């Protein structure tokens, strides 16, 4: 029961942060550049629960966000899935590796998210010209990845002080 409650809380937090982020007007006039607030929860979850369960959280967040925002199965949904899933797999590969901090995992996840979005856009548009946009997205993944990484590190430290440093 505790595991179900924990997973539900993580899914709810990711869904809430995704919904809030969708309400924030773009502060950079380039499409596809967002803060990635839900990744704060994903990074934090990696420190508390097994990767398979983190995947469940990410997958359900993608589906539920699409349903809540009315983007389910439209191109924006597939772009989000491409970015979110590639980001998850890269972060899962790097998480817990010696010498790679949560900041490094976050930066790699941000870059992977942008790469996944561009790959999905190339498939949807059947046009490889979209890859010319990659340098801009990768450049912006640095500050966004750092912002989410620092936030996740603070959350993990706070949870550790509260006694939740063991895997649930």
User: How confident is the model over 19-71, as pLDDT tens digits?
Assistant: 898 888 877 777 767 788 999 999 999 988 888 999 999 999 999 999 998 88
Q: What are 118-164's pLDDT values in tens digits?
A: 999 999 988 888 888 889 889 989 999 999 999 999 999 988 876 66
Q: What is the CATH number of domain 2-161?
A: 1.10.1760.20
The pair phi, psi for residue 162, each rounded to 5°, is -85, 0
pLDDT, position 163: 64
Domain ranges of the chain: 2-161
pTM of the model: 0.87
Q: What is the distance of C-alpha 60 from the center of its chain?
A: 12
Query: What number of CA atoms fall less than 13 Å from residue 157's CA on the CB side?
Result: 8
Q: Count of residues for the chain?
A: 168
Of residues 48, 46, 27, 24, the one with CA closest to residue 37? 24
């Amino acid at each position: 029961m505790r595991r179900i409650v924990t997973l539900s809380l993580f899914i709810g937090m990711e869904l809430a942060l995704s919904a809030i982020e969708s309400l924030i007007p773009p502060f950079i006039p380039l499409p596809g550049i967002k803060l990635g607030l839900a990744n704060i929860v994903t990074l934090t979850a990696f420190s508390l629960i097994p990767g398979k369960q983190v995947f469940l959280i990410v997958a359900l967040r993608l589906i539920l966000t699409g349903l809540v925002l009315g983007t389910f199965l439209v191109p924006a949904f597939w772009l989000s899935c491409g970015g979110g899933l590639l980001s998850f797999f890269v972060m899962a590969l790097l998480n817990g590796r010696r010498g790679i901090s949560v900041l490094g995992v976050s930066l790699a996840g941000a870059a992977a998210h942008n790469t996944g979005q561009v790959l999905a856009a190339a498939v949807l548009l059947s046009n490889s010209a979209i890859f010319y946009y990659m340098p801009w997205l990768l450049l912006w993944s640095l500050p966004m990845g750092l912002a989410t990484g620092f936030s996740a590190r603070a959350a993990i430290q706070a949870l550790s002080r509260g006694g939740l440093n063991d895997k649930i």
